[in-house]
């Protein structure tokens, strides 16, 4: 309290030197007041209070300030009543009674205080002045209002709104309006003081520190009350009644006289242009459909009616192109919740299912078995499946697929029964054994009594057909590539191709007449031979051991001979020496004159086999891809047959000379009709492996093909005299018997000249007869 008083004293001294006049005028009271610390304190506080409020609420809340104002005014008067010493009571009352506005002496004081600019301060001071009971002039009032409007802070300290720490090292705390220093209180409180104060001072809780002036201020009870009220959100003034009845400015009752007698404006009679503009805009917008009037709730969306009342078929025709979506396939037993046990997956099937890509799976789910319905869970892919169906419906192209609904039996062509096409060989009746190597070539004597076979074991064997006895074995000292019986029934001669030699062999079997005729033929030629000079080949007469074996002549070629073929008359003999580079591939030998000649000047490809036309002077040469037919008389090519195969292996000409068959290494057999076309009339793909040999029967309409798959297929091929009827080519029998050795099956096939029998020789060193 001492500090307080000193403070107030000091302040007094510093701030209000100019108020001295006034003080002097009311010396008594002044002195009393000065002495009264409480009063002073209060005065200070009122400013302080404002400052605090300002601090709290910034400076924009003018309303609250008003309320503060009103509250303070009252409280100020109240506080005056209560706080002032009893001595003053009477005077105060008197003053109040006198009237609030009488302040005469205060004018000066007012002007002074106005300069301080603090409203509250001013007011309090005015209140003080009221107490003093002096007269008030109009002038003053005007002034008062003037300053009342300002809500500036009390700037006793002129340093402004700065952090007060800046002054902490100085003895003063700022400057007053006159530019004099305002000094800090003499002694600063430290922590201990603070604590002691806190402990001892009962009013500590309502003491606040004013930073700007550096003083402590104790709030009065009223002020505390005010603060509390404000905090509660009540009016600052206790006596203010917020529920007072309103005083209406205008009465609600209609008076007989108008408030104003002014005649109505012209514009109140004329429609508003602005409104007109606005309305017309809206109307236009509605017309244009930009604004729609509020729509009536349309519930027709969910209303159903008989859509198909007048069904007309005109719409149906419109949608001819439209394909209805295929239905989902119906579930099978596998999908059951309790399927039969055979439909459940085994472990392997399950593993396979897991491994497979979802698109490869046969079933899109795993069949499962549940012992009762309550154990069945939800199907996890249900929504997926439905969604996939949706995608199918609108994303998948649809196509009408013609389903081939044929009975497979109908596809099989109706062929004449083999039974009706008899005779043809059906069963294997004889096996000729004796060779040790694979048998490349066989040939039957024109009488049909003898069969000659040449093998890789270097021997030629002659068999009796009916008994399968080996009548003769001739060692020729090399693998026999080809063997051919002279077709002339009057002689008994064999041509054998061994390496680069063609042997003319007389087996000397059968009738003595025939044997002697053969001898004559062979011996009679000798004279003629001598006249012949140097040729592509040399004719060698054999003697000694070889002659004893029956080998009469050797025709020495330059290269290995692949095939020999007789002319039908039995005098001419053709030999084939396949060679890519040379034009010397085919030689024609004349036996009676022991002459050889090369018919071709040019190399037209690798010659596979050759054959004479049975009746006419034609010569067939088969190269890899095609068969050329040469006229030997005119010495020109007459025809070229396209075989439509990769590599011809063998060829045979029908005894009538009109048809040719050729087998190829790519499993095909081509049947040519020379009158019709140069293309095969029919290609037969019956064999599984390369065709090695083909043969025509001389009298029966049969032909046979031998293949590496170990089978001989007999086909019936009739050509009708009626040209309109197509030739009938029907396979009639598949003959099996040869074993496949070293991937080679049947190597050669030939028919019996008179009987419907077929001989075949194979890589298993046997010759078989099928009858």
Partner 1 sequence: MGGLQKKKFERGSATNYITRNKARKKLQLSLPDFRRLCILKGIYPHEPKHKKKVNKGSTAPRTFYLVKDIRFLLHEPIVGKFRDYKVFVRKLKKAYAKTEYSDVERLKDNKPTYKLDHIIKERYPTFIDALRDIDDALCMCFLFSTFARTGKCHVQTIQLCRRLTVEWMNYVIASRSLKKVFLSIKGIYYQAEVMGQLITWLVPYQFSHDHPTDVDYRVMATFTELYTTLLGFVNFRLYHSLNLVYPPKMDSKSDLELKGEDEEDYAMDSESYLEKLSALSTSLARVFSSVEDEEAQLDQFPVEGEDMENMEAREKEQKQQETQTKLFEGLKFFLNREVPRESLAFIIRCFGGQVSWDKSVCIGSTYDATDETITHQIVDRPNIDKQYISRYYIQPQWVFDCVNAKILLPVEDYFMGVTLPPHLSPFVEEKEGDYVPPEKLKVMALQQGKKPAEEQEEEDEDEEDEEGEDEEEEDDNDDDEEDEEEEAEEKSLKKMEEQRSQGKSLQVKVTPGKVKVENPARLEQEQKAEEKRLAIMMMKKKEKYLYDKIMFGKKRKIREANKLAAKRKAYDDAEKAKKKKARK
In the region spanning residues 386 to 425, those forming contacts with partner 1, defined by CB under 8 A, are 386-387, 389-391, 393-399, 404, 406, 408, 411-415, 417-419
Binding flag, residue 367, partner 1 (CB under 8 A): yes
User: Please, what is the minimum distance in Å from the beta carbon of residue 327 to partner 1?
Assistant: 6
| Closer residue to partner 1 (CB): 115 or 338 | 338
Q: How far apart are the first and last CA of the chain?
A: 156
Residues contacting partner 1: total by CB under 8 A = 90
Give the relative orientation of helices 221-232 and 37-57 as an angle to the nearest 10 degrees. Answer: 20
| Closer residue to partner 1 (CB): 335 or 541 | 335
**Residue-by-residue DSSP string for 110-141:** HHHHHHH--HHHHHHHHHHHHHHT----HHHH
Binding flag, residue 686, partner 1 (CB under 8 A): yes
Find the part of the chain contacting partner 1 (CB under 8 A) among 64-72, 164-172, 243-251, 338-346.
338-346
Q: What is the signed CA dihedral for 80, 83, 88, 94, rounded to 10 degrees?
A: 30
Task: Scan residues 692-731 and list those touching partner 1 (CB under 8 A).
Answer: 730-731
370 CB neighbour count, 10 Å cutoff: 13
Find the part of the chain contacting partner 1 (CB under 8 A) among 108-116, 289-297, 647-655, 662-670.
289-297
Distance of CA 108 to the CA centre of its chain: 98
Find the part of the chain contacting partner 1 (CB under 8 A) among 17-25, 307-315, 589-597, 642-650.
307-315
**Residue from 117, 339, 478, 657 that binds partner 1 (CB under 8 A)?**
339
Yes or no: say if 215 and 186 are a contact pair by the CB < 8 Å rule.
Answer: no
* Sheet containing 538-541: order of strands: 480-485, 494-498, 501-505, 551-556, 538-541
Distance of CA 439 to the CA centre of its chain: 63
Binding flag, residue 265, partner 1 (CB under 8 A): no
- Residue 353: closest CA among 342, 344, 364: 364
Binding flag, residue 346, partner 1 (CB under 8 A): yes
Find the part of the chain contacting partner 1 (CB under 8 A) among 148-156, 341-349, 644-652, 743-751.
341-349
Task: Scan residues 425-484 and list those touching partner 1 (CB under 8 A).
Answer: 431, 433
492 vs 496: CA distance, rounded Å: 13
Binding flag, residue 343, partner 1 (CB under 8 A): yes
**Residue from 312, 348, 675, 722 that binds partner 1 (CB under 8 A)?**
312
Task: Tell me the backbone φ, ψ of residue 21, rounded to 5 degrees.
Answer: -55, -55
Binding flag, residue 283, partner 1 (CB under 8 A): no
Binding flag, residue 298, partner 1 (CB under 8 A): yes
Binding flag, residue 287, partner 1 (CB under 8 A): no
**Residue from 382, 530, 534, 581 that binds partner 1 (CB under 8 A)?**
382
Yes or no: say if 699 and 424 are a contact pair by the CB < 8 Å rule.
Answer: no
Task: Scan residues 224-243 and list those touching partner 1 (CB under 8 A).
Answer: none
| Closer residue to partner 1 (CB): 183 or 345 | 345
User: Please, what is the minimum distance in Å from the beta carbon of residue 763 to partner 1?
Assistant: 17
Yes or no: say if 522 and 514 are a contact pair by the CB < 8 Å rule.
Answer: no
704 vs 721: CA distance, rounded Å: 22
DSSP 204: G
Binding flag, residue 294, partner 1 (CB under 8 A): yes
| Closer residue to partner 1 (CB): 356 or 597 | 356
User: Please, what is the minimum distance in Å from the beta carbon of residue 581 to partner 1?
Assistant: 38
- From residue 282, alpha-carbon distances to 279, 434, 493, 517 in Å are 5, 121, 125, 134
User: Please, what is the minimum distance in Å from the beta carbon of residue 207 to partner 1?
Assistant: 52
User: Please, what is the minimum distance in Å from the beta carbon of residue 758 to partner 1?
Assistant: 16
Find the part of the chain contacting partner 1 (CB under 8 A) among 14-22, 208-216, 230-238, 734-742.
734-742
Task: Tell me the backbone φ, ψ of residue 60, rounded to 5 degrees.
Answer: -95, -10
User: Please, what is the minimum distance in Å from the beta carbon of residue 709 to partner 1?
Assistant: 13
Binding flag, residue 732, partner 1 (CB under 8 A): yes
Q: Max alpha carbon distance in the chain (Å)?
A: 197
User: Please, what is the minimum distance in Å from the beta carbon of residue 233 to partner 1?
Assistant: 32
User: Please, what is the minimum distance in Å from the beta carbon of residue 99 to partner 1?
Assistant: 58
543 vs 400: CA distance, rounded Å: 84
Binding flag, residue 289, partner 1 (CB under 8 A): no
Binding flag, residue 254, partner 1 (CB under 8 A): no
Find the part of the chain contacting partner 1 (CB under 8 A) among 28-36, 169-177, 296-304, 636-644.
296-304
Binding flag, residue 192, partner 1 (CB under 8 A): no
* Sheet containing 636-642: order of strands: 609-612, 618-622, 626-631, 636-642
- From residue 35, alpha-carbon distances to 38, 113, 183, 223, 322 in Å are 9, 21, 21, 22, 115
Binding flag, residue 12, partner 1 (CB under 8 A): no
* Residues 6 or more apart whose Cβ sits within 8 Å of residue 613: 568, 619, 620, 629, 653, 657
User: Please, what is the minimum distance in Å from the beta carbon of residue 362 to partner 1?
Assistant: 10
Task: Scan residues 317-336 and list those touching partner 1 (CB under 8 A).
Answer: 318-319, 321-322, 324-325, 327-328, 330-333, 335-336
DSSP 341: G
**Residue from 253, 342, 534, 722 that binds partner 1 (CB under 8 A)?**
342
């Amino acid at each position: 309290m001492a500090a307080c008083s000193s403070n107030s004293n000091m302040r007094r001294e510093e701030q209000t030197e100019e108020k001295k006049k006034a003080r002097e005028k009311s010396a008594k009271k002044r002195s009393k007041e000065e002495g009264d610390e409480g009063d002073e304190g209060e005065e200070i506080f009122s400013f302080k209070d404002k400052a605090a409020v300002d601090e709290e609420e910034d400076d924009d809340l003018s309303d609250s300030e008003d309320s503060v104002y009103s509250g303070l005014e009252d409280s100020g008067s109240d506080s005056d009543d209560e706080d002032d010493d009893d001595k003053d009571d009477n005077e105060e009352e008197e003053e109040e009674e006198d009237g609030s506005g009488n302040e005469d002496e205060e004018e000066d004081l007012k002007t002074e205080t106005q300069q301080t600019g603090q409203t509250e301060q001013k007011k309090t001071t005015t209140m003080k002045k009221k107490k003093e009971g002096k007269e008030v002039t109009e002038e003053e009032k005007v002034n008062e209002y003037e300053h009342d409007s300002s809500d500036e802070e009390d700037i006793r300290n002129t340093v402004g709104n700065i952090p007060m720490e800046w002054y902490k090292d100085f003895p003063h705390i700022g400057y007053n309006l006159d530019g004099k220093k305002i000094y800090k209180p003499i002694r600063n409180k430290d922590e201990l003081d603070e604590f002691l104060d806190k402990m001892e001072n009962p009013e500590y809780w309502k003491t606040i520190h004013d930073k700007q002036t550096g003083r402590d201020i104790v709030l009065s009870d009223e002020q505390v009350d005010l603060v509390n009220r404000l905090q509660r959100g009540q009016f600052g003034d206790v006596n203010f009644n917020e529920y007072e009845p309103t005083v209406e400015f205008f009465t609600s009752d209609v008076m007989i006289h108008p408030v104003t007698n002014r005649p109505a404006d012209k514009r109140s009679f004329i429609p508003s242009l602005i409104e007109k503009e606005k309305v017309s805009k809206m109307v236009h917008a509605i017309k244009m459909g930009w604004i729609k009037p509020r729509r009536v709730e349309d519930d027709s969306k969910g209303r159903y009616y008989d859509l198909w009342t007048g069904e007309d078929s005109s719409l149906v025709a419109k949608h001819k192109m439209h394909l209805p979506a295929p239905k989902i396939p119906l579930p099978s037993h596998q999908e059951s919740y309790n399927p039969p046990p055979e439909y459940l997956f085994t472990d392997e099937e399950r593993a396979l299912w897991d491994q497979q890509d979802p698109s490869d799976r046969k079933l899109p789910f795993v069949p499962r078995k549940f012992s009762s319905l309550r154990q069945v869970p939800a199907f996890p892919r249900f929504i997926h499946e439905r969604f996939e169906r949706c995608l199918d419906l609108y994303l998948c192209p649809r196509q009408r697929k013609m389903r081939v609904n044929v009975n497979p039996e109908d596809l099989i062509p109706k062929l004449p029964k083999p039974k009706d096409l008899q005779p043809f060989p059906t069963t294997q009746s004889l096996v000729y054994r004796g060779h040790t190597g694979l048998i490349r070539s066989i040939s039957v004597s024109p009488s049909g009594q003898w069969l000659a076979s040449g093998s890789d074991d270097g021997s030629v064997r002659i068999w009796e057909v009916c008994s399968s006895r080996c009548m003769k074995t001739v060692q020729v000292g090399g693998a026999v590539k080809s063997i051919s019986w002279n077709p002339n029934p009057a002689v008994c001669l064999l041509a054998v191709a061994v390496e680069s030699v063609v042997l003319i062999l007389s087996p000397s079997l059968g009738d003595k007449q025939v044997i002697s005729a053969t001898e004559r033929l062979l011996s009679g030629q000798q004279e003629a031979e001598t006249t012949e000079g140097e040729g592509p080949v040399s004719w060698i007469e054999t003697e000694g051991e070889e002659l004893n074996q029956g080998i009469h002549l050797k025709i020495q070629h330059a290269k290995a001979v692949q095939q020999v073929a007789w002319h039908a008359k039995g005098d001419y003999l053709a030999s084939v020496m396949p060679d890519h580079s040379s034009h010397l591939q085919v030689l024609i030998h004349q036996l009676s004159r022991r002459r050889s000649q090369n018919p071709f000047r040019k190399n037209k490809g690798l010659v596979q086999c050759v054959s004479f036309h049975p009746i006419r002077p034609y010569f067939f040469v088969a190269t890899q891809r095609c068969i050329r037919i040469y006229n030997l008389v005119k010495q020109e090519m007459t025809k070229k047959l396209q075989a439509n195969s990769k590599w011809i292996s063998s060829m045979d000409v029908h005894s009538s000379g009109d048809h040719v068959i050729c087998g190829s290494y790519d499993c095909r057999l081509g049947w040519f009709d020379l009158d019709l076309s140069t293309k095969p009339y029919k290609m037969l793909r019956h064999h599984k492996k390369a065709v090695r040999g083909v043969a025509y029967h001389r009298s029966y309409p049969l032909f046979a093909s031998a293949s590496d798959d170990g089978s001989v297929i007999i086909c019936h091929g009739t050509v009708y005299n009626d040209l309109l009827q197509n030739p009938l080519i029907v396979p009639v029998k598949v003959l099996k018997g040869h074993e496949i050795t070293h991937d080679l099956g049947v190597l050669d096939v030939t028919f019996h000249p008179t009987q419907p029998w077929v001989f075949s020789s194979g890589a298993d060193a046997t010759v078989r007869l099928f009858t």
